[in-house]
Chain A
Amino acid sequence: MKRIFEDRRTALLLLAPALLVYTLVMLVPVVWSLGYTLLDGNAVAGFQYTGFDNFARLADDPKVWQAFTFTLKYAVVITTGQVLLGYVLAVFYVFVLRRSGSVVRTLTFFPVVLPTVAVALLFQKMFEIAPQNGLVNSVLNALGMGSVDWFGSAGTAFFVLALMDIWRSMGFYAVLLYTGLLDIPEEVLESARMDGASGWRLVRQIVLPLSLPVLVSSLIFSINGTLKVFDSVLALTNGGPGLGTTPLTLYMFQTSFSFGDYGYGSTIALLLTLVCLVVTLAVFRSARRDVNA
């Protein structure tokens, strides 16, 4: 019986298209890029072999470390925000809205499907100060407070960025986590209620442990996206002011394409890849421990 599924030729046939495209358009370029890390120069001026100079430079470059810390800060804040608020929403769907929530769920999913650039333009206008006050500053003024130059300093710019990215993605995580909560047997909840657990205690002692697996996979999903953030930063702040909101991805993009430093750019990309790898593995491992425990 099993033999029919041990058909190498069929396996190859079904696998071939995916493997071919994947190898040619991803694997080969990745290896090629690794080669660039040992070179200096760009396509205009030509390349020279410089050994591990790029790696030495990476270790000393204060900008890389600034971008690196920003990437981590962004990933931690946004992932926490997305998953936490998504979880709160999911709990809200299950325990407060119950069956009637389909319209609300649909509406809160809206921002997820909007084009990043459109959302960024919207937030730029909402937080605008010049030449005209945007919605937020108008409200502040009406409350008797002064306007804030939101994009003028790294701190406030990061605040707007975080707000935007959490706003647009929490609906997605809410639906994802909602399905996890639905899988909790009603009997378990009922018996917990009988024992007098309610509200916060019910969530903490019953709901949270039982929905941990889906919570962890949401975390992995989220952190892999936030570590590679590019589109929303580029569209909202373009990394500014200064390097204030520049993540590794954007710094790599500028180094390679604006400053014409392909070798160093590839080295930064390699650093980013390693960070993604390490973080994902770390989350995987700790998750496995938690689930098994």
Chain B
Amino acid sequence: MTPIRRTPRRTMLLLATGTVAALGVAACSGPADGGSASAGAEAEEFKFLVNTENTTIPDLLTSLSEGACSEQEAALPLSVETVPQTQLDQRLQLLAGQDALPAMYAAGNSPALTKELAENGQVLDFEQALADLGKEDAVLPAARSTIEALYGGFNVLPFQYNIEGIWYNETLFADNGIEPPATWDELVAAAQTLKDAGVVPFAASGEQGWPITRLISGYLFRDLGPDALQKVADGEAELTDPEYVAAAQAVADLGAAGFFSEGVGSIDYDTAFNQFTSGDAGMFYMGSWALSTFADPEANPIGADAVGFMPFPAVEGGAGDVDAYPSNVGLPMTFSAKAYGAGVDDWLGCLADSYGDASLTEANTISGFASTAQIEDPLAQQVQDTIAASDSSVLWFEALFGTQATTTSQTNAAQLLTGAISAEEFMSLVQADLDAE
């Protein structure tokens, strides 16, 4: 009897000891991890919450913390925390509800969320903050007006200042005798030529969804003019109106013609990028933040010289102007008003001074910060010139939508290409959410 009974007792003892030890670890891990991220006054770190997909900004900040901003780093070390983009809004909502947003954070997937945060005092007023630091001129006027138009005030920082368009593989175009298409019909013809040659015409991430809905908004702006989506936001037009459905239909037709690779819905951002940079795909709708990837020979086997950039093509008889580029500040970063304080303001000052140069020289990315650095990359130069020459810009499909309509639009976009839902169905799904807001 005895030997058998002893075993469970020893197991129990072991379990109990383990539990006590584990509880100890759990209790201690609190303060060691910096505890709850509340008031900025007693912060020990410069906390930065960013979406996992964005590696450019964290890398640049880390590099700055070792260079131009090393003083600030010594006083308040940078600590980067990542969250997948699809979970970002949820995290922001939870943290903001407790006034616990970190000192700097990615401002959400839709301008609507950023505005809501700003209205409730969670976002730093950069107009005031930069004026206090005497650095009003740190941000370019064009970038600032884009921000004010989108985010209801100077509420975010232009770590990126992008235009969007279609990047194409010049080698593949030359091999197949294709000129960069200037109209939608030419674009479709070029895609057909590529497909016939056994090349995937378009690389796109259906998992992200936005690279597809951008095609719809691009078509809308060219066809109906730059105020097409403003009208929808103002209630003067509906996405289910025939001229709007026509844009979704045009994109659905691209899918039906097999111009995207199979399983486009499960292709994520990196995979889409790889398809283009490995020469498997001929065209790629993307923002100019892609420049940093194109300039990296490791990440871009076809080489920067083989990449060309063209504006979104015109639609025959359309009211839009082909030179009106979609422009934005990417998924922008902002500062928490609650966590702003000593040390954090020094960081803002340093970023205002140094980010523009670092962005151009180290990441080959154009930011909305003033910079004196010279651009060496010809592709980046071309984009920079385009920005300088363009006097009008347009937004993107979901720019004026709320969170729910944005999610609906982006999660259903791939189905539009695969034919799982029709153009009418897609537009009415999104319109239903707009009506609910």
Contact = CB atoms under 8 A, between A and B. Distances in A.
Chains A and B share a contact (CB less than 8 Å): yes
Given A62-B432, A258-B93, 6 more contacts: A42-B97, A44-B122, A128-B266, A129-B262, A131-B261, A259-B407
A29 interface: no
A56 interface: no
Interface residues of B, number: 38
Contacts of B169: none
Interface string A35-53: 0000000111110000000
A149 B418 CA distance: 9
A242 B93 CA distance: 22
Contacts of B288: none
Interface stretch (B112-120, B215-223, B236-244): B112-120
The 8 closest A-B pairs by CB, nearest first: A43-B97, A129-B263, A130-B263, A257-B90, A242-B412, A44-B96, A153-B420, A149-B263
Contact of B265 (A147, A151, A254, A257): A151
Contact of A44 (B93, B261, B418, B421): B93
A242 B411 contact: yes
Contact of A258 (B89, B265, B275, B414): B89
The interface residues of chain A, by DSSP majority, are classed as loop
Contact of A254 (B120, B274, B407): B407
Contacts of A240: 265, 411
Nearest to A240: B411
B136 to A, nearest CB: 29
A152 B266 contact: yes
B264 interface: yes
A283 B411 CA distance: 36
29 contacts: A43-B93, A43-B94, A43-B96, A44-B116, A44-B122, A45-B120, A128-B263, A129-B263, A130-B266, A131-B261, A147-B263, A149-B262, A149-B266, A149-B418, A151-B266, A152-B264, A152-B420, A153-B418, A153-B420, A242-B411, A242-B415, A242-B421, A242-B429, A257-B89, A258-B89, A258-B90, A259-B89, A259-B407, A260-B113
Nearest to A243: B411
A241 interface: yes
Classify chain A: how many residues form its interface, as a range: 20 to 34
A211 interface: no
Contact of A257 (B93, B274, B411, B414): B93
Interface in B389-416: 402-404, 407-408, 411-412, 414-415
B267 interface: yes
A259 B404 contact: yes
A67 to B, nearest CB: 13
Nearest to B119: A45
A241 B414 contact: yes
Contacts of A46: 120
A122 B52 CA distance: 22
Nearest to B88: A258
Nearest to A44: B96
A241 B411 contact: yes
A62 B408 CA distance: 13
Contacts of A128: 263, 266
B7 interface: no
Interface of A: 42-46, 62, 124, 128-131, 147, 149, 151-154, 238-243, 254, 257-260
B19 interface: no
Nearest to B407: A258
A258 B266 CA distance: 21
A58 to B, nearest CB: 13
B418 A131 contact: no
A42 B89 CA distance: 13
* Residue among B89, B403, B414, B420 with max Cβ neighbours from chain A (10 Å): B420
* Residue among B86, B93, B120, B429 with max Cβ neighbours from chain A (10 Å): B93
A260 B264 contact: no
A153 B262 contact: no
Nearest to B426: A242
B55 interface: no
Given A131-B271, A241-B412, A258-B407, A151 B263 contact: yes
B98 interface: yes
Interface in B113-159: 113, 116-117, 119-120, 122
A257 B408 CA distance: 15
B415 A241 contact: yes
B421 to A, nearest CB: 7
Interface string B60-102: 0000000000000000000000000010011001101110000
Contacts of B420: 152-154, 241-242
A43 B415 CA distance: 34
Contacts of A130: 261-264, 266-267, 271
A233 to B, nearest CB: 14
Contacts of B408: 242
A124 B275 CA distance: 20
A23 B415 CA distance: 45
Nearest to B92: A44
Contacts of B116: 44-45, 260
A159 to B, nearest CB: 14
Nearest to B91: A257
B93 A152 contact: no
Contact of B274 (A129, A131, A241): A131
Given A128-B263, A152-B415, A44 B89 contact: no
Contacts of B403: 258-260
Interface string B261-291: 1111111000100110000000000000000
Given A44-B116, A152-B418, A241-B412, A257 B266 contact: no
Nearest to A127: B266
A257 B94 contact: yes
Contacts of A44: 93, 96-97, 116-117, 120, 122
Nearest to B421: A242
A243 B407 CA distance: 10
A229 to B, nearest CB: 19
Contacts of A260: 89, 93, 113, 116, 403
